[in-house]
Structure 1
Amino acid sequence: MKKGFHFYLFCIFFSVVLLLTSCDRFNNDRSFQPSKSKVELTVSAASSLQEVMEAIKVLYIDEEDSNVEIVYNFGSSGSLQQQIEQGAPVDVFISAAAREMNRLQEKSLLLDRTRQDVLTNQIVLIVSKKNDAITRFEDLATAKVDRIALGQPDSVPAGKYAREVLIDRSLLAAVESKAIYSKNVRQVLGYVATNNVDAGIVYRTDAAISPQVKIVAIAPQDSHSPVVYPIAVLGNSSQVEAATDFVEFITGDRARTVFEKYGFSRGAIDSAEQMKTPA
């Protein structure tokens, strides 16, 4: 009788210990913790950054914060600037030129002390893979070229840089009548890739993603203003903490490897110069 009673007590004791242990594991298991609500981060970025920014998103969510949902809005830097000026809900802006970022800074639309240059690129002349007639910028002024695709210089930074190169080479007057202006640099690339034009001027990184085109000339750096991609958090961002963290990640070493893989380079950052408001 005593043995049965002792066994009964042992079973009760063991059950209580097992229950308490299970509860403790439940409380300490992170999988049972309430999940944080998703943070949506809207990033407006220049068209030339499409592929690399998708890769950056994967890396950021995997290594940094899986609780952030990044929503991209790609377009010409000028059109993105106008959207922001008109009140579009944007947390982070990455332009393909200082001009558009300067205009937003002049209107006090950037969050103080978040602007910095993050990338550089090169300006190149491209033709279709099978075109062997055009080998240099000077060929644009000859009968070898009937039509050339350029970005709209007022809203597309690549178009602005292209115009500067043509002026530097004294080619603008001869080329203007042949120009087909595009709404963004990817449209220029598409026109050349599909043989709708004889040549186009784009970023080196754009040329690298299309097997239908080839680079025939690289514009000297002193033939145009510096190609820089500035980044900043917007002053009206509803997710300042997440936006600032994303910008820090973009400018860090882990992102550098991804940018270099896609052909971009990292320009030196002079924080003092970046804080100046353009005249």
Structure 2
Amino acid sequence: MHRRRFTIRLALLGVALWLAPQVATAQGKSLTIFAAASMKNALDDVNAAYTRATGIKVVSSYAASSALAKQIEGGAPADVFVSADLTWMDYVQDKKAINAETRVNLLGNKLVLIAPKDSRIGNATIGEGFNLAGLAGDGRIATGDVKAVPVGRYAKAALEQFGAWAAAEPKFAMADNVRAALLLVARGEAALGIVYKTDAMVEPGVKIIGTFPEGSHPPVIYPVAATATAKPDATAYLAFLRSPAAKQIFEKYGFTVLAAKPTT
């Protein structure tokens, strides 16, 4: 009887010794995601769900798509890139810094005009003849750098469409990314801001006072792709971004899901 117990214990010890390195290997895996600043809240939740499902740690770096694209071009160790516009994904693709075969248009968003929560500025009708400069009064208007940051590019395109850019340009405070612009408005350091709908939804210190009409600027599209140096696990991560679980999270934060994994 004692001999049998001893044999069982040895077998269990052998299994434990075999499993230990397998678990350690799974726990040691990680992915690095470079993503547009506007994705932070939603992608943090998606990443947490992915880690719970797979045991693989996900580390995200959030910034303006322009800055991230330049870092990827320079060899930064990212596995996946999510841009807030097509231009910067095209840029890294031209530099052969992503795996073009993995590229998909993942999400859509809307461009909105915001003011501090306690502002006396009411709802604005955005269209032809829109007087943004007059609406701002003596205050500043915050958005991303119109020369590089996607939200700033979208904003300038829309304002030019309505003939409002020339008068409003001197009032603009250009931020490094959309979340920095959002913060300027939330703190009352800017009277108005142009950000994405999803940003306004997660910041209690601001209110949406207008939505830019579709067609007034290029569609706000978030493409995603694995980088040219991505780890093999990036393939499964990209598939998870298109899963029903991820779709539910993205939609909760106000994104429009453009690419969804077929349910079969």
Unaligned runs of 5+ in 2: none
Could you say which residue in structure 1 is the equivalent of 2:239? Answer: 248
Whichever residue aligns with residue 223 of structure 1, its letter is: S
Verify: 1:142 aligned to 2:130, yes or no. no
Is the CA contact (8 Å cut-off) linking 2:40 and 2:62 kept in structure 1? yes
**What TM-score do the two structures reach when normalised by structure 1?**
0.85
From 63, 72, 75, give the equivalent of 2:63: 75
| Equivalent position of 1:170 in the other structure | 163
In the TM superposition, residue 143 of structure 1 has moved relative to its aligned partner by 5.8
Q: Distance in 2 between matches of 1:30 and 1:139?
A: 71
Q: State the one-letter code of the partner of 1:250.
A: L
User: In structure 1, which of residues 117, 121, 126 is the aligned counterpart of residue 105 of structure 2?
Assistant: 117
Deviations 1:114-159 (A, max 9, x none): 0001111110000011223342243413164332112112221111
Find the aligned partners of 1:91 and 1:197 in 2 and give their Cα distance.
36
Give deviations 1:84-110, integer Å, cap 9, x for gaps: 111111111000000000011112211
What is the number of equivalent residue pairs in this alignment? 252
Is the 8 Å Cα contact of residues 93 and 100 (structure 2) preserved in structure 1? no
Partners of 1:109 and 1:32 lie apart in 2 by 37
Cα separation, 2, equivalents of 1:128 and 1:212: 6
For structure 1, the residue ranges without an aligned partner over 5 or more in a row are 1-13, 270-279
**Is residue 154 of structure 1 aligned with residue 144 of structure 2?**
no
Tell me, yes or no, if the aligned pair for 2:141 and 2:190 is still in contact at 8 Å: yes
For the structure 1 residues 221 and 143, does the alpha-carbon distance in structure 2 shift closer, same or farther, using more than 3 Å as the test? closer
AA aligned to 1:91 is D
TM-score using structure 2 length: 0.90
Deviates more, 1:36-45 or 1:101-110: 36-45
- Identity across aligned pairs (percent)? 34
Computed over aligned residues only, the root mean square deviation of the Cα atoms, in angstroms, reads 1.8
Aligned to 2:253: 262
Change (3 A) 1:144 1:107: closer
Matched, 1:215 2:208: yes
Q: Counterpart of 1:85?
A: 73
The Cα offsets for residues 26-81 of structure 1, whole Å up to 9 and x where unpaired, read as 44459853234312311110000111111112100111x21x22221110000001
Q: 1:267 to 1:73 in 2, by over 3 A?
A: same
- Give 1:1-279 correspondences, 5 Å limit: 14-28=1-15, 32-34=19-21, 35-37=23-25, 38-63=28-53, 65-66=54-55, 68-136=56-124, 137=126, 138-142=130-134, 144-146=136-138, 147-237=140-230, 239=231, 241-268=232-259
Q: Which amino acid aligns with 1:261?
A: K
- For 1:187 and 1:124, the matched residues in 2 are separated by 15
Preserved contact between residue 33 and residue 80 of structure 2 (Cα < 8 Å): yes
3-state SS of 1:42 partner: strand
Distance in 1 of aligned mates of 2:17 and 2:241: 29
Comparing 172-181 with 22-31, greater Cα deviation is found at 22-31
- The answer for the alignment partner of 1:274 in structure 2 is none
Q: SS of the counterpart of 1:105? A: helix
8 Å CA contact retained: 2:35, 2:60 = yes
Instruction: Tell me which moved more, 219-228 or 16-25.
Output: 16-25
